[in-house]
Chain A
Amino acid sequence: MSGLTLFYTAFTYIAIAIFLYGFLTRIWKYATTPSPLKIPLTPAPVQPAGAVYRIIQEVGFFKSLFYSNRIIWLAGYLFHLALAIVLIKHARFFFASTPVAFHWITTFEIWIGFIMLLPLLLLFLLRLVIDRTYYISIMMDYLILVLLMGIAVTGILTKYFVRTDIVSVKQFVMGLVQVRPEALPADPIFIIHFTLVMLLLIYFPFSKLMHAGGIFFSPTRNQVDDPRELRHETAWAAKG
């Protein structure tokens, strides 16, 4: 086993460990943070099922972003949709046999990487050209976009322009998944793509990318508007 393979195997497990530990501790923190007050944003659902429906609208369609800024919604929604399809397509590398439920998605070829890349470019430009967003943008906001663009560009390169041998890629990735390391494919573009993804995993739990988990715990969205029907008590505030 070459030194590079050894390094990347260790690097990958460290990155995944940081990602899982970081992500799950953040989730635990979100889930156990007390919400002492009823603060659902009105008009709010009055039944628990309504709150679930509201979360589905937020997660599935970014409803409140849609009503606040259509351009950012369009770019953001296209990006997330493309990212979801790209992730599902990557399932072929993570599972010994691709789950049957995912087969339909590999049948249509729509240059999905570009549908992921172009909205990122637009979001990057919007941050720069609109005075207000330029003023509130910090370096980390740009860093995330650049990192994601780097992943998209290298991914597009390995798929359409400097094609890589995906059988050896799968062999490498399945080796990692099944904890019996295999040789790293000697393809520089793939290695850059893989490195960027690992850097994203490491950075993920410390960044605003945690909105992926955090959106489910927003009290203004997930609370039911029933303070007159039910007394709202948090565990630490309840008497005896």
Chain B
Amino acid sequence: MKMRAIIAFLAFLIVLTLPFLVSAGSGNILQSVQAPEIELPDPELGECVEDVSYMRANHMVLLKEERERAVRHGERGDYSLSNCFSCHTNITTFCKRCHDYAGVKPGCFEIEEGCHYAPTSND
């Protein structure tokens, strides 16, 4: 009776504190808190189409709406992926670092069931 109560108690304790337990047990406590550093493009290339805080939260909306306009209506504008690539030339040092950190797939590229070839060179 007491034994079963203890087992039930421990089961709930483990489920409820899982994030803390995993974090303490995984050993990467020191480096994983901070958001990743990304390699920013050459400042000489000019300003981005929108400001940084807007882009951080909304870049996917711009890309998606631009895709609708380009693919469905044939109107191309500033928010195209190829325009992004003219400054942000490397998926692994730019897109992927934050996307991996947050556990979100970038939906644009062929390896991620998207349509586009990812930029991979930095030159």
Contacts and interface: CB of A to CB of B under 8 A. Distances in A.
Interface of A: 19-20, 23-24, 27-28, 30-32, 91-92, 94-98, 102-103, 106-107, 163-168, 170-171, 174-175, 177-178, 180, 182, 213, 216-217, 234-235
Contact of B104 (A164, A165, A166, A177): A166
Interface string B48-86: 000001001110010000000000000000000000000
Nearest to A187: B57
Contact of A96 (B9, B18, B23, B57): B23
11 contacts: A32-B5, A95-B22, A102-B103, A106-B103, A163-B58, A163-B61, A165-B53, A167-B56, A167-B98, A174-B32, A178-B33
Given A27-B12, A165-B57, A234 B101 contact: no
A27 B14 CA distance: 13
A216 B101 contact: no
B117 interface: no
B interface: dominant SS: helix
A interface: dominant SS: helix
B8 A171 contact: no
B90 to A, nearest CB: 18
Contacts of A171: 33-35
A230 to B, nearest CB: 14
Contact of A175 (B1, B5, B9, B33): B33
B19 interface: yes
A30 B12 CA distance: 12
Nearest to A217: B8
Given A23-B12, A32-B5, A216-B8, A166 B102 contact: yes
B122 interface: no
Nearest to B107: A109
A100 B6 CA distance: 30
